[in-house]
Structure 1
């Protein structure tokens, strides 16, 4: 009887020791593991200025105005108003409004041009975004477009303006946006009449949000197309690797 009692006690003690060791190991492993990082809260930056006193423009969104690199530069409303905004605001526009929906814009209206410089935009579901720049934030740079050629053919809807009200290209009825730059737009003004046919080809984007190109060839049709310097062409100068490439104009080594 004593033998059985001693054996049972030894067995029970062994089980308790093993359980204690296992629990200790698990506790040590948990204590040694780094704590899971909590998700960083999304910073909500409040506007510094009151946008309410700015004129309000409302209308139906006809399309986004894209840059040749695919960024949203603004909105085209159904009444022909072109709404322009900085990159930080433009990137957020597709998240609050879609083509065919109503939109409200707080911004400065152009004098003699159907343009608005947007500072705040409110979508149909009440979401509002404002032109707020975070201190120290890097301002994105729209690099020259590269990629395959994109052809554009159709009827001109309206001149394409920039934020200063200068013509820089055209918007087509098929929603394509053609950039040629201010100088070329002035030279080719006779071709840029609403209702006229236009053929253009250049590098850019063609996707779900729309088409936008920097035209390299342009004309009333393919047979009358001429070559133009793209709007994002680098300034004239020596090509990389040439003897004059590193010469600074006006410097001691410049001729």
Structure 2
């Protein structure tokens, strides 16, 4: 296990890049504007992916990231295609950086995907423990330019999209540690458990660095035994 110390300037940059969530409203106060229901529209440029390869949202042509619960992955894939125009109803995350979809209507297919709440317990497979790969994942290394940050349902950063289309995913506390490396426009290298899907490649990140020769593990990795080494798939 290797450790390193962030400089004061790096901490300041990280704090700027990863804005803190605002405090919850006081009891009886009106809801935040970002949480009020609204409808937006746009053209789908691509899907976003979870570490296990499920679809968990869209990126629209104007750059808006739309979150769709992963349990709707199959419905979303059947109803929506990149290049389609969609109308999305929902609300913005507390930080305002992410749009949380209640429904996605595809104009071309005339189909609507609606979130009616999480599935009943036991209907969806549980996620693997931190650091343990999903079936079919390979130990993968990648290096590329950060195109944009990706965010989870609460609006906190939990990954990045590279310019070659690779999706990097990691817990928010790890993304915060590597904030300066994940800044849009920066070249970043990552190692983790990679899956190639019909919608692109996603990597469950285990280490990050400025180059493949300078990969660093996070300060406090999640507890649990490391899985046995797997074949490495590397693509520049």
Q: TM-score, normalised by structure 1?
A: 0.65
Residue 81 of structure 1, aligned match among 64, 74, 93 = 64
Q: Runs (4+) of structure 1 moved beyond 6 Å? A: none
Q: Give the number of the structure whose alpha-carbon radius of gyration is greater.
A: 1
Structure with greater contact order relative to length (CA < 8 Å, sep ≥ 6): 2
Partner of 1:191: 181
Q: CA RMSD in A?
A: 2.5
For 2:110, the equivalent position in structure 1 comes to 126
2:93/2:153 contact within 8 Å kept: no
- Shift of the 73–229 alpha-carbon distance from structure 1 to 2, 3 Å rule, reads farther
- Give unmatched runs, 5+ long, in structure 2: 1-35, 227-236
Equivalent residues in 2 for 1:106-185, closer than 5 Å: 106-124=89-107, 125-133=109-117, 136=120, 138-140=122-124, 141-144=126-129, 145-146=133-134, 147-185=137-175
Cα 1:133–1:164 shift into 2, 3 Å = closer
| Counterpart-to-counterpart distance in 2, 1:220 and 1:134 | 38
How many residues are matched? 184
Structure 1 or 2: more helix by fraction = 1
- Are the equivalent residues in 1 in contact too, given 2:141–2:189 (CA < 8 A)? yes
Q: Which position in structure 2 is the counterpart of 1:251?
A: none
Stretches of structure 1 lacking an aligned partner (at least 5 in a row): 1-52, 240-255
Bigger share in strand: 2
- Alpha-carbon deviation of 1:106? 0.6
CA distances 1:149-181 after superposition (whole Å, capped 9, x unpaired): 123221101111100011112111222111121
Alpha carbons of structure 1 residues 148 and 119: separation in structure 2 relative to 1, 3 Å: same
Equivalent position SS for 1:217? strand
In 1, are the aligned partners of 2:71 and 2:119 still within 8 Å (CA)? no
Measured against aligned partners, the alpha-carbon deviations of 1:53-74 in whole angstroms (never above 9, x if no partner) come to 9311111111111112111111
SS at 2:180 equivalent: helix
How high is the TM-score relative to the length of structure 2?
0.69
- Select the residue among 65, 68, 91 that pairs with 2:51: 68
